[in-house]
Chains A and B, each alone.
Chain A
């Protein structure tokens, strides 16, 4: 099955700075890589995703990059704001393309 590693587990940045979270996956057949944001007590919310035929995708202050050769993908958040504070999860479906396997999560803290 798929194995997803995520780093760091905690990331503290100053408001306005950038944050980068990295994930690696094991199954070379995986072809879809979503990122979810989960605030305390709430559901995971899909914030951006990337498919294997694309190397980078941007949506305003959020971007995701994918390196299929190295089997890693990263989330980039620029101009961080207090409302970006949350736990972020990367995920991958594995070759079976069924349910998602999640990374362990990154607790992002935005310092005022």
Chain B
């Protein structure tokens, strides 16, 4: 399996809802990432997990809570989001954090009402 998968593909939620985004890879990669991409903008780094430990948190609001249950899975828990959080959320993985290709999943299109 040479792909990064993400579920769900689309998610619509209210500002009081709690939801989770899921990401999975079976390439044996040890680094996983969450990026946020607004329309017509580049992806922006949110979190980096290296060997299942959070190594980077790019000053992301606490309403976004990442979790890495094991080396193949990455979750992003969402709570009390704002309409401006609507975006495409991309997961990526790489063999390690140093000088390695990052492969992206298809993304979850999130709409916050």
Contacts and interface: CB of A to CB of B under 8 A. Distances in A.
Interface in A63-99: 89, 93, 96-99
Interface stretch (B13-21, B65-73, B98-106): B98-106
Contacts of A99: 33, 35, 45, 48, 56, 58
Interface of B: 33, 35, 40-45, 48, 50, 55-56, 58, 90, 97-107
A28 to B, nearest CB: 15
Contacts of A93: 99
Q: How large is the interface on A (under 10, 10 to 19, 20 to 34, 35 or more residues)?
A: 20 to 34
A45 B107 CA distance: 12
Given A49-B101, A99-B45, A99-B48, 15 more contacts: A34-B101, A34-B102, A36-B104, A46-B103, A51-B99, A93-B99, A97-B97, A98-B48, A98-B97, A99-B35, A99-B56, A99-B58, A101-B45, A102-B44, A105-B40
B23 to A, nearest CB: 12
